[in-house]
Amino acid sequence: MELAKLYLDSGIQIKHVKNLPPMSFGVSDKEMAVTIEKMEGGRVINSLLSSNEPLYVKHFASIFEELWRNGIDAKSRIRDIDEGIETEGIEIIRNPTESLKIAYDIVKSARHEVLRIYPSINALRRQIRAGAFRIFKEVLEDGVKVRILIPADEQQIAELESEITLVLPQLEIRSIDKSLQTSIGIIVVDRKKSLIIESRDDTKDNYYDAVGLAAYSNSRPIALSYASVFEALWKQAELYKQINFYYEQLKIHNKMQEEFINVAAHELRTPIQPVLSLSELLLSKKGDIEQYEELLESINRNGKRLQRLAENILDVTKIESQSLQLKKEKFILNDLILSIFTNYESHMKKAEISNVKLAMAPKEDIVLVEGDKERLTQVFDNILSNAIKFTKEGRITVSIERMKENDKEFGVVSVKDTGSGIDSEILPRLFTKFATKSQTGTGLGLYISKRIIETHGGKVWAENNLQETGATFSFSIALD
- Which range of residues forms the domain containing residue 365? 329-478
- CA 166 – CA 143 distance, rounded (Å): 18
Same domain, 445 and 412: yes
Q: Are residues 338 and 464 in the same domain?
A: yes
Averaged pLDDT, 206-226: 86
230: in domain: no
CA within 13 Å, CB half, 106: 24
Same structural domain for residues 142 and 269?
no
Confirm whether 237 is domain-assigned.
no
Is the separation of the CB atoms in 283 and 297 below 8 Å? yes
Q: Does residue 241 form part of some domain?
A: no
CA distance linking residue 35 with residue 107, whole number of Å: 39
Is the pLDDT at 40 greater than 70? The verdict is no
CA distance 368 to 478: 9
Whether residues 76 and 101 share a domain: the answer is no
Whether residue 348 is found in the same domain as residue 280? no
Total count of domains within the chain: 4
User: Do residues 60 and 103 share a domain?
Assistant: no
N residues, the chain:
480
4 and 14 Cβ atoms separated by less than 8 Å: yes
Question: Nearest-CA neighbor of 316 among 358, 258, 232?
Answer: 258
* Mean pLDDT of the chain, nearest integer: 82
Shared domain check, 214 and 95 = yes
126 inside domain = yes
Taking only the tens place, the pLDDT of each residue in 267-286 is 566 667 777 777 777 667 66
End position of a domain, from candidates 293, 320, 347: 320
pLDDT digits (tens, 9 = 90+) for 41-63: 666 667 788 999 998 899 889 88
Q: How far apart are CA 453 and CA 456, in angstroms?
A: 5
pLDDT tens digits, 355-379: 999 999 887 678 899 999 999 999 9
**295 Cβ partners below 8 Å, 6+ apart?**
none
Domain-embedded: residue 231: no
Which residue, 320, 348, 374, sits at the end of a domain? 320
Domain boundary among 320, 346, 368: 320
Q: What is the 3-state secondary structure (H, E, C) of 119-165?
A: CCHHHHHHHHHCCHHHHHHHHHHCCCEEEEEEECCHHHHHHHHHHHC
The pLDDT score that the predictor gives to residue 269 is 64
Reply yes or no on whether the pLDDT at 244 is more than 90.
Answer: no
